[in-house]
Amino acid sequence: MIDIKTVGVVGAGQMGSGIAQVCALGGYDVMLHDVSQERIEQGIAHIERYMTRQVARDLIKPAAMEAAMTRIKPATELQSIGGSDLVIEAATENEDTKKTIFKALSPHLAAKTILASNTSSISITRLASVTDRPGRFIGLHFMNPVPAMKLVEIIRGIATEAETYEVAVQFAQSLGKTTSNAEDFPAFIVNRVLVPMINEAIYTLYEGVGTVEAIDTALKLGANHPMGPLELGDFIGLDTVLSIMNVLHEGLADSKYRPCPLLVKYVEAGWLGRKSGRGFYDYRGEKPVPTR
């Protein structure tokens, strides 16, 4: 069975940088790639800020942070991560984008390399089909924020080999994560349940049943959720929520998964949540204020 020592991460955004961080803290050498040197540097700076907060809260030791930071190396060229034992794609939740990355990677991969996607909704079987190694391809769906969340969904495509699955499970568990096996159906387990709930909350707002504040307060106190569904949608990114709803709607052909028109409108306006400064809350002031 392959022994994972080096990990390549494609995408230095919130998810990719989080994955790089937990891998480095887990003792793996990490190469972090994105479309530009600036994006990579931003990702590494984000990792350093996050771990600094963890040190301040005594969640990790300063020596562990220092060692982890030395394990993370920038990779400006995609092909430079091809020799890694494991490559995890954590690009935007767009099937064409992901397939383009895997097609570009394939000629540069070592024979031993396992490919994984952090997709939160897209078919692992379809993504694997554009590579030269569908048997060594698997879904590793980390939760956001990666350093804090304990779960990793493991998703096998139709061609994924048993050894690939075993290596993936051992790898995720070596990071201190708990694994949950999901079949290769649209949005898997977590987002199959979670994202339609957010979409339904948006319908509740759209139909005037309650305000943003009323809906979030009701779910936090009435269902004991740590975060209201509209606040959570903003945290995830409303573009990602819409993308997952579209995958569900198209993949399962059930009208109950139709994206709420108000969600579509917010995304069209560029109001994507926390990352853009506005979503169902406005984050540009001292404290978030509902936008409806």
The single residue of 120, 121, 123, 199 carrying the catalytic annotation is 120
Q: How do the pLDDT tens digits run along the chain, 292 residues long? A: 678 999 999 999 999 999 999 999 999 999 999 999 999 999 999 999 999 999 999 999 999 999 999 999 999 999 999 999 999 999 988 999 999 999 999 999 999 999 999 999 999 999 999 999 999 999 999 998 999 999 999 999 999 999 999 999 999 999 999 999 999 999 999 999 999 999 999 999 999 999 999 999 999 999 999 999 999 999 999 999 999 999 999 999 999 999 999 999 999 999 999 999 999 999 999 999 999 9
Share of the chain above pLDDT 90, in %: 97
pLDDT on residue 2: 78
Homologous superfamily assigned to 191-290: N-(1-d-carboxylethyl)-l-norvaline Dehydrogenase; domain 2 (1.10.1040.10)
Give the separation between CA 189 and CA 26, rounded to whole angstroms. Answer: 26
The residues spanned by each domain of the chain are 6-182, 191-290
Homologous superfamily assigned to 6-182: NAD(P)-binding Rossmann-like Domain (3.40.50.720)
Q: Is 153 a catalytic residue?
A: yes
Q: Is 84 a catalytic residue?
A: no
The single residue of 118, 123, 191, 199 carrying the catalytic annotation is 191
| Fold agreement (6-182, 191-290) | no
The single residue of 141, 199, 243, 249 carrying the catalytic annotation is 141
Q: Is 41 a catalytic residue?
A: no
Note if the pTM is more than 0.85: yes
pLDDT per residue as tens digits for the range 87-120 = 999 998 899 999 999 999 999 999 999 999 999 9
pLDDT on residue 1: 64
The single residue of 17, 153, 243, 249 carrying the catalytic annotation is 153
